[in-house]
Amino acid sequence: MTTPHPPAASASGTMPALRSNTRFGVVAFCVALAWITYMDRACIGVLSSAIRADLGLSMTQMGYVFSAFTLAYAIFEIPSAWWGERIGARRVLARIVTWWSVFTILTAAATGLKSMVIVRFLFGAGEAGAWPNATRVFSRWIPAQERGRVQGIFFAGAHLAAGLTPPLVLALAPFVGWRGVFVVFGSLGFFWALAWLRWFRDQPSEHPRVNAEELAHIRQGRLDEAAPHAPSAHGRSLWRVLAADRNVWLLCLVAFANSYGFYFIITWLPTFLGTLGFTKVSLAIYAGLPLLFAVPADLLGGVTTDWLARRFGLRIGRALVGGVAYAVAAVSIFLATQMANPHAAGVLLAVAGGASMFALAASWASCIEIGESHSGFVSATMNTVGQVGAMLSPVVLAWLVERSGEAGRWGLPLQIIGALYLAAALSWLFIDPSRRLRHA
């Protein structure tokens, strides 16, 4: 029987120090952030029928409620990202989580369309900037070779939460009502914000648990703000650079398509499934299925894009994952509209949702690579345009469904999502993450 060899000693006779791996704790905090965010977002879609019945809202009016959140999110996304660049993600994310938790709880106090729209608008204003500031955290805490998989883990946490939300809501609502669900879910954020402020630091070098070995590992491939080759654009000059950059425009188009489809999943999908004759249990399963499919897709997408990028370069590593994923999503959506079997349609919608999420790590990692020290601004710009898609999705769908009547009313809205996924797949043919903003 052999015994394992101990680690080799250094020339001085001392054992080499191990990395502290504090960055994994940062990732865990961000995953918890994503989890709480998506629970709060997704619960309103599951509760929409109860809310409409209680407040006397039409389908189109409920679409306005859904879109109020995304309108505010789009308006305040870039200012919140700018704020994070100014004072750091630690304080900004704590403010964001506290704000949205307050207005998630206040959703329970709504008495009609006007109050519901106002509360959801303020909820969106508070949550805006969460994702770009998380991207800022990753750009400073995660070495280049780990970014894709970390983005995949981050989105997997978000989508797992959203996928589990329908059964959680349906189990909780009979005991506390739709208003009580918002109170319970909204309360979780306060615990996160307190722990985050106590533990996190904006720079790894400032954290007492980061040793020299981990700091050196983190800095591999990371662009520090003071680096001489970093883009120096600020203010209006930065906006000119962003506006002239083809990569930014195409990533914005991809984000628009992704968010348009995603907001169908977390807003109107439960209502659509109800028209197919699913039982309450089956509806809860199929409503959460696209986001449960998204969890392994997020993880595999992150690992795959990093592996391909190491082997074939950034452009192929990011673009191949994004292009193929959206092509699969487009085909699946179009097939779902042709299925007479509701279970087959439900599975195909889940495949489409999962495939679209397979590409997320490639998109957000590309923002870091394209933007470098301005990754927060690039990701905020991309996500702002995405929120325009999210804002339009529930309203356009509700308008189309109510105008088309009962027969075949969901076909066209789903085909629009498929067409947008196809446009996203084609966009990836022209995205090159190796082309930095400083060359624009």
User: How would residue 228 be classed by pLDDT, with cut points 50, 70 and 90?
Assistant: very low
Task: Spell out the domains of the chain, with CATH numbers in brackets.
Answer: 23-222+245-439 (1.20.1250.20)
The position carrying tokens 């197919």 is 276
Q: Residue 222 pLDDT more than 70? A: no
If we measure between CA atoms, which residue out of 384, 381, 354, 385 comes closest to residue 370? Answer: 381
pLDDT digits (tens, 9 = 90+) for 378-406: 888 898 899 899 889 988 998 888 887 65
* Terminal alpha carbon distance of the chain: 62
For residue range 102-120, what is the model confidence (pLDDT) as tens digits? 999 999 999 999 999 999 9
In whole angstroms, what is the distance from residue 169 CA to residue 47 CA?
Answer: 8
Does position 216 have pLDDT exceeding 50, yes or no?
Answer: yes
In Å, how far are 10, 86, 207, 212, 422 from 17, measured between CA atoms? Answer: 10, 35, 17, 9, 50
C-alpha 319/C-alpha 108 separation (Å) is 43
CA pseudo-torsion sign 329, 332, 336, 341? negative
Q: Quick check: 6 pLDDT over 80? A: no
pLDDT in tens, 75-110: 888 888 888 878 889 999 999 999 989 999 999 999
User: Cα–Cα distance between 58 and 55 in angstroms, integer?
Assistant: 9
Question: What does the block give as tokens for 42?
Answer: 């997704």
Position with higher pLDDT, 252 vs 162: 252
Decide: 376 and 307 in contact? Cβ < 8 Å.
no
Confidence of residue 226 (pLDDT cuts 50, 70, 90): very low
Among 16, 49, 438, which Cα is nearest to 268's?
Answer: 49
Element (H, E) at 348: helix 342-358
- Inter-residue contact 23 to 142 (CB < 8 Å): yes
- What pLDDT is stored for residue 405 in this prediction? 61
